[in-house]
Amino acid sequence: MKPFFNFGCALVAWGELCRVARTRNYPGRLDPLPPQAFCQGRHNHQFVYASSAQLLKPYQAILLEPLWLLDQRQDGRWQLVATALGNSLNLRLQALLRAWMSAIPQAEEAGPQVARLRLALRSFQGEIGSLPPSLSVARQTDGQSPLVRGISPYLEQISSIVQLEDARDGRLLGGGVNLQGPQAEQGRSGQGWQDLLACNWQQILQFGHPPLAAG
């Protein structure tokens, strides 16, 4: 896959998550970033916000937003779905992230030196109603948003998108986009913000559990 196409995939995915999150009245004020704001991550399938390391250094905890799922509907349109807080995926994410990233505790509410984490994960499940029983939602999903047309070739390459912002005022602190492709095995434990940004979210959520998605 050509490097410029990889880069374009990351920019498109980041911009769509920003746009949809704004329409869902999330507290952040994320806007699409200029191309120069991103740089190559730890491998050629990853792009990260270049200022992440500096901006995240003072922060001591994370506040998890409910997980977003990126998928293609049966009618061919792509959608980002905001899961319910009680969704089993969110409970799994909390538990596994707590075990893998003990260096960064999870906060229960916004506060000083707390970064809000927004994660969108490719689910490969089609319509959200087709999720298997082991991943069923505790209540109806909070909302669905079809994405703009004509970007399917870019979204097909996405594995995950993560955005970090100040939990109180919504300032962008960091983030990154992982594309589909071979990636290094995830370490047994994370050591800090850079590991959080570089991690393989698909692997984190599937480790020792039924698969999140086929393929």
| Structural contact between residues 140 and 128, judged by C-beta atoms closer than 8 angstroms | no
Question: Residue 106 has what DSSP assignment?
Answer: B
Residue 194: exposed, middle, or buried by beta-carbon count in 10 A (0-12, 13-18, 19+)? middle
| Structural contact between residues 101 and 117, judged by C-beta atoms closer than 8 angstroms | no
How much is the pLDDT for 142?
Answer: 38
Domain boundaries, given as residue ranges, for the chain: 3-206
Region of poorest pLDDT, from 24-33, 49-58, 88-97, 193-202:
24-33
Q: Which residues contact 32 (CB under 8 A, 6 or more apart)?
A: 11, 14, 15, 18, 19
Here the tokens at position 23 are: 């329409």
pLDDT surpassing 90 at residue 54: no
- Band (208; pLDDT cuts 50, 70, 90): very low
User: Per the confidence metrics, is the pTM higher than 0.75?
Assistant: yes
Determine the 3-state secondary structure of 70 from DSSP: strand
- Band (27; pLDDT cuts 50, 70, 90): low
